[in-house]
Structure 1
Amino acid sequence: MSDQQPLLAHLIELRTRIVRIVLGIVLCFLGLFHWTSQIYHLMAKPLLDVLPAGSSMIATDVTAPFFVPVKVTMLVAFLLSLPNTMYQIWAFVAPGLYNHEKRLIVPLVLSSILLFFTGMAFAFFVVFPVVFGFMSSITPQGVAMMTDIDKYLSFVLGMFVAFGVTFEVPIVVVVLNRMGLVSLKQLREGRPYVIVGAFIVAAVVTPPDVLSQVMMALPLCLLYEAGILVSMVSNRKKQEVTNE
C-alpha cells in the first residue's frame, strides 16, 4: 500500500477526478445533442411499434417536447461516458488498495457494469415489446392509447433500474459467500424463499400484469442459481490453492 498522502492532496485529487468525470459526461452530451429527437424516438420505439394506426404519444407539458428528449440524451451520455467515470474512480481508489484487493474488485466492478447493462437491454428488447403489446391489446374500444412522453420516460427509467439491479443478484450472492456471511449450503436452502421473494419484488416494481412479473421473477431466480454456480467454482479454486 502506498504511503498516505496529506488530506489536502487527497481532496485536490478527488476534485480533479470529479471534474474529469463531469467533463466526460458533458462532452458526450454535447456530441449527442444534435440527435436528441432521434435518440428519444429510438427509446420510444417499443411503444410506438404497438400503437394502433393513427395513435401517437402526447406531451401534456409545454416544455416536455424539449426537456424529455434532453433528459434521455443525458442518460445516454452518462452511459457512454461510464468507462471514463469508472477509470477516474479506480485511479483515485486503487493506490490505497492491496494487490489481492485489486484482483478481487476489478472483476466484480466490471461484472456489475456488464450485468446492469444486460438487465437494461433485457428490459428494452424483451420486456417492453411484450408489456406494451399486452397493454395495447387490452385497450377497450373507443379508448385511444396515447401515452404522455414524460410519464413514458419515468416508466422506462424505473424499469431500467429495476431490471439492472435485478441482474446484479449473482454479484451479491458471490460477495456474500466470498465474505463468509453465507455458505453454499445456506444458499441452496434459501432457494424457496428466493423464488417467493422474486415474485413479490416483481409484483411491486413491474406493471400489474402476469407477463411482466414472470419476466422479472424468472431471470432473478436463474441469476440466483448462476451466483451459486460461480460461488461453487470460486470455492473450489480457493480450496485447491489452499491445498497446494
Structure 2
Amino acid sequence: MSLRINDVAPNFTADTTAGKITLHDWIGSGYVVLFSHPKDFTPVCTTEFGAFAKLAPDFEKRNTKVLGLSVDSVDDHKKWIRDIEAVGAAPVNFPIIDDTSLSIAKLYNMLPADAYLPDGRTPAHSATVRTVFIIGPDKKIRLSLTYPMSVGRNFAEILRALDAIQITDGAPLATPADWQPGQDVIVSTSLNNDQAKEKFGELNIKLPYLRYAKAPKA
C-alpha cells in the first residue's frame, strides 16, 4: 500500500554518517525533510545534496531537520561528502542514511518488495528512490514529491511548500496557487464569515467559498 498524506511516516532505525538514529525519536518536536537518492557519486544528486548543504540555515530557522538517504554505504557517503561540499561550497551537516539493504526505500514504497541491487548495478536499478518527504512534528507525512533522475529538484519549491505547511498547520487556512510567504491565505469554508473575521480580521471575498485573509505572523 502506498503512503498517503497524513499517514504516520514509517519508523525505522538506521546507520547514518552521524551514527545510528531512530526516525521518530530523531524528529523531536520539529519538522523533517527526508530526501532520497538512487546512488552516490551521481551528477544530479551531487548538485542536490550541495543545494541542501547551502540551504541548511534556511531549514534551521524553520525548525526543520534535513535527512538524506542513498542506497549506498556510510563509507561511500563519507567519501561522497567531499564532492558534495566542493560543489555546494558548504559543509554537509546533516545525516545521510545507509540504505544498502533497500529496507527504507521499500518501507517508503520507493521500490517494490522484491527489488535488489545486482552486481555492477547502475543508478537505473534504483531510479525510483527520488522522493522528498516532509514529515511533521506529529510524525505524519505532510508532502511527497517524486522526481525522475534527469530532473534536478527545485529547492525554492521545497522551502515554499514547507512555509505553506507550517503557516497552515493546525489552522483553518490554506494557501492559493503560487503562494509566497507574506501573501494572503485562504480561509477554510469550515468558518462562516463572522467567525473568519473574528479569527483573521478583514476578508477579501472573491467567491462565497474563496475568501482571503492576511497571513498570520510566524
TM-score using structure 1 length:
0.24
Larger Rg: 1
TM-score using structure 2 length:
0.26
Decide which structure has greater strand share: 2
